[in-house]
């Protein structure tokens, strides 16, 4: 049957009034269960799709969830982490019959324009926020404007709900693996230190050294930005500091480090051991395959969507202190680590 039916035609086929069909479609009360099921059966059999704009006028819902990522477009679509994050969020939205809107911008001016047009324009029921610096004013604006949102990544504000992995414990696990192999000159290429993931993975590195009574040498701590280029630069500094092993806070940086080590005529793991973080596809595409921390990226995204939907269905949850979820990660041991010479 055609999908361009009207409410009146659905009502006639279901043997009910037009107003009853409207209440069913908009999930309103005061409809008997048997009648509600009969209407939905007709809707399913006919393939009828309620008009989204008309429905939003009744429910005050757009059925749209925004994903806000303040990263340059070139970074977003070249970093495997973001591709998998969006995949997980998209699947969760599709399963719950929500639409996903991706909001990107470059710099403060772009953020201001996006915020006014998309967020304050009433286009979103809620938002998933990812990859935000800790001091990003976006978070406070979302709180002040009362838009329900969940962040992928730890945030110190008690009002912010977030999902993340336990980055401290995960990084500590990775560095302790190197320490157990006998390494004492363990360097790290950190993530961005204005982000919780960068800070937490650095904290895990420090805790691992402390647990194995290895003094922290600040010459072995090189700040990166999660990109392959910063991994290449960081590895050069660590080789100059006589590191025998490197913990890179992302697989992209680990791949960059691997390239620099090879360009110097050295070999992994014979001359330098290497551990990454994320376990994206590139970890097994390089030679040797990377030992890395596996974090459930798609699961983080889907949990963020599910948490947001629960906030939308239960406004009291959105008004309470933020929910905090930290998932475990695990170390995947491959070929890029060995005992020091």
157 and 302 in a common domain: yes
Q: How many domains does the chain have?
A: 3
- Phi and psi at residue 149, in whole multiples of 5°? -155, 155
pLDDT grade for 318, boundaries at 50, 70 and 90: low
158 and 78 in a common domain: yes
Q: Is the pLDDT of residue 3 over 70?
A: no
What is the β-pairing status of strands 291-294 and 330-332? Answer: antiparallel
The range of the structural domain enclosing residue 12 comes to 7-58
**pLDDT on residue 317:** 64
266 and 228 in a common domain: yes
Q: For residue 125, which of 160, 101, 141 has the smallest C-alpha distance?
A: 101
Is there a cis peptide before residue 269, judged by omega within 30 degrees of 0? yes
247 pairs with which residues across the strands? 188, 275
pTM over 0.75: yes
Is pLDDT larger for residue 123 or for residue 257? 257
In a domain, 43, yes or no: yes
In a domain, 153, yes or no: yes
286 and 226 in a common domain: yes
217 and 141 in a common domain: no
Dist. CA 45–CA 318, nearest whole Å:
36
Question: Using an 8 Å Cβ cutoff, are 5 and 42 in contact?
Answer: no
| 251-263 vs 228-240: helix crossing angle, rounded to 10 | 50
**pLDDT on residue 51:** 54
288 and 178 in a common domain: yes
59-106 pLDDT per residue, tens: 456 789 999 888 766 677 778 899 999 999 999 999 998 999 887 766
Picking from 23, 38, 58, the residue at the C-terminal end of a domain is 58
184 and 93 in a common domain: no
145 and 116 in a common domain: yes
171 and 198 in a common domain: yes
First-to-last C-alpha distance (Å) of the chain: 73
* 186 φψ region: left (φ > 0), alpha (ψ -120 to 50), beta (else): beta
121 and 28 in a common domain: no
181-216 pLDDT per residue, tens: 999 999 999 999 999 999 999 999 999 999 999 999
% of the chain residues with pLDDT over 70: 91
Dist. CA 191–CA 249, nearest whole Å:
6
pLDDT grade for 57, boundaries at 50, 70 and 90: very low
Dist. CA 274–CA 287, nearest whole Å:
12
174 and 190 in a common domain: yes
Q: Is the pLDDT of residue 287 over 80?
A: yes
Q: How far is CA 308 from CA 14, 126, 142, 146, 149, in A?
A: 34, 7, 14, 13, 6
pLDDT grade for 53, boundaries at 50, 70 and 90: very low
Return the residue matching tokens 């090879």.
262
In a domain, 252, yes or no: yes
In a domain, 1, yes or no: no
CATH number of the domain encompassing residue 105: 3.40.50.2300
pLDDT grade for 148, boundaries at 50, 70 and 90: very high
CATH number of the domain encompassing residue 45: 1.10.260.40
**pLDDT on residue 304:** 97
Return the residue matching tokens 């939003």.
56
**pLDDT on residue 307:** 95
What is the token pair recorded at 10? Answer: 């659905």
């Amino acid at each position: 049957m055609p999908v361009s039916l009207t409410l009146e035609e659905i009502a006639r086929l279901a043997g009910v009034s037009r107003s009853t069909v409207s209440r069913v479609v908009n999930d309103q009360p005061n409809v008997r269960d048997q009648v509600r099921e009969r209407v939905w059966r007709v809707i399913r059999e006919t393939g009828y799709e309620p008009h989204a704009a008309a429905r939003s006028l009744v429910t005050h819902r757009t059925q749209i969830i925004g994903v806000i990522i303040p990263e340059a477009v070139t970074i977003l679509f070249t970093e495997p982490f973001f591709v998998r994050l969006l995949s997980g969020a998209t699947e969760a939205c599709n399963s719950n019959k929500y639409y996903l809107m991706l909001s990107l911008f470059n710099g403060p001016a772009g953020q201001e324009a996006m915020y006014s047009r998309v967020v304050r324009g009433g286009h979103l029921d809620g938002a998933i926020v990812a990859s935000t610096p800790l001091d990003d004013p976006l978070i406070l604006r979302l709180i002040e404007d009362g838009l329900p949102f969940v962040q992928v990544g730890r945030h110190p504000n008690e009002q912010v709900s977030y999902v993340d992995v336990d980055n401290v414990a995960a990084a500590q696990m990775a560095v302790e693996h190197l320490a157990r192999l006998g390494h004492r000159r363990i360097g790290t290429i950190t993530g961005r230190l204005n982000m919780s993931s960068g800070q937490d993975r650095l904290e895990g590195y420090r805790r691992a050294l402390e647990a194995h009574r290895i003094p922290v040498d600040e010459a072995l701590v090189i700040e990166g930005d999660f990109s392959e280029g910063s991994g290449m630069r960081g590895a050069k500094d660590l080789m100059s500091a006589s590191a025998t092993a490197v913990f890179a806070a992302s697989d992209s940086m680990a791949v960059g480090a691997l390239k620099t080590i090879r360009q110097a005529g050295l070999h992994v793991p014979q001359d330098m051991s290497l551990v990454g973080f994320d376990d994206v596809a590139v970890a097994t595409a390089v030679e040797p395959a990377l030992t890395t921390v596996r974090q459930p990226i798609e699961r983080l995204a889907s949990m963020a969507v599910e948490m947001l939907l629960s906030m939308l269905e239960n406004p009291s949850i959105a008004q309470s202190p933020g929910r905090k979820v930290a998932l475990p990660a695990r170390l995947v041991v491959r070929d890029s680590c060995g005992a020091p010479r």
